[in-house]
Amino acid sequence: MLDAYRTPDRLRARIALHERFGDPHHDLHRWLFDLVLTRTPPPPPGAAVLEVGAGTGRLWRVNAERVPPGWRLTLTDRSAGMLTALRGTLEEAGLTAELLPADAAALPFPDASFDLAFANHMLYHLPDPSVGVAELRRVLRPGGLLVAATNGANHMRQVRELARPLGALEGVEPTGVADLPFDCENGGATLAARFAEVELHRHDDALEVTDPQALLAYLRSLVHLPEAVTPELEAALARWEAEVLAHATPGPTRVERATGVFLAR
């Protein structure tokens, strides 16, 4: 699954659908930042802040003007391509941070290094999310706050149904179709094994996708093809794409978003 994120292109295709057709007044990243800034107690002045799996840095791009001036940011990702994109995002946002390649299952930091840690939409990528949760607990100081956004069982359900037929094609690996090992329904138990206080805040809404090509671009970002594509596979993919476009035309296509944010201390 991680192969889909070794360059930012696939992730950007997915983000683009949400940014183009989502409600800008219902932005997940601004909303979860509100949750953090209004906590009691709030993060301390001069907080040491970690983000694991920072991706292209959307959390910081949409909240740039709200980052407390004393925060010291450390942002990590396993992908060199993501770190390059992240560096550009921070420069555009006027923010400074230490950027490091890191595996969430083996964080390169001493115990009790951070006051606040973000792990958004990434714990479900780990072979064992509980290992990542244990690492985050280890690097957080006593009383430190973990912010972990994830998806619910019905997130993008309509898209997953459109992608599901790809699993029957030989050599094709669609991502985002299987159940997640860390989601809104099961993630609380994983966190409770390491944290004394765990809260789930739901953030559910829907996209109204009016451009069938944008929906197809999102679906293509979920597809991993074998190195050698046979004529038969190419024809099957063409038929599937035609079915997607027929389903989405004239539109709009309603796509449910079921997400949530865990706050854990």
Q: What is the pLDDT of residue 174?
A: 83
Quote the CA–CA distance of 65 and 189 in Å, as a whole number.
34
Check whether the bond before 41 is cis (ω within 30° of 0): yes
CB atoms within 10 A of CB 260: 23
Q: What is the pLDDT of residue 7?
A: 53
Q: What is the pLDDT of residue 8?
A: 63
Q: Could you read off the pLDDT of 17-67 as tens digits, one per residue?
A: 999 999 888 899 999 999 999 998 899 999 999 999 999 999 999 999 999
Q: What is the pLDDT of residue 258?
A: 96
Q: What is the pLDDT of residue 212?
A: 96
Element at 242 (helix H, strand E): helix 231-248
DSSP class of 230 = -
Residue ranges of the chain with pLDDT lower than 50? 1-2, 4-6
Domains of the chain: 2-155+178-206+258-264 (3.40.50.150)
Q: What is the pLDDT of residue 214?
A: 94
Q: What is the pLDDT of residue 5?
A: 42
Mention every residue, 6+ apart, whose C-beta is less than 8 A from residue 117: 49, 50, 51, 52, 136, 139, 140, 144, 145, 146, 147
Phi, psi of 106 (to 5 degrees): -155, 70
SS3 content of the chain, % helix, strand, coil (to 5): 40, 25, 35
